[in-house]
Amino acid sequence: MTVEREVVIKNKEGLHFRPIMQFVETAQKFTARILVRCEDREADGRSPMELLMLVATQGTVVRLFADGDDATLAVETLVALVETGFGEV
């Protein structure tokens, strides 16, 4: 099953190294394949370098995709993490 959701990057510094590592650590808890899309760029949700290349600044809309048995829980958890501003808002 594939699940997708849009979420807005809220923290002032956008997706920089610290929130990216929080995202990756959270994504690794799930078996689902996780992708993040930002405009015309796509990143593996478990790859810090690919996520950094998204250049997702504050206010950027990203789309999260998960495919697998725990896809719904993975997307819900990652959306909640992004919506909290990674504890930086």
Determine the pLDDT at residue 89: 59
In CATH, which superfamily holds the domain spanning 2-87?
HPr-like (3.30.1340.10)
- Kindly name the residue from 5, 16, 33, 41 that is annotated as catalytic: 16
The pTM of the full predicted model, rounded to 2 decimals, is: 0.95
**What type of residue is 64?**
L
Residue with the two structure tokens 């495919």 = 67
Regarding predicted confidence, which is higher, 89 or 42? 42
Tell how far CA 2 is from the center of its chain.
Answer: 15
Domain spans in the chain, listed from the N-terminal domain onward = 2-87
Catalytic-residue membership of 15: no
Residue 88 has pLDDT above 90, yes or no: no
**What type of residue is 73?**
L
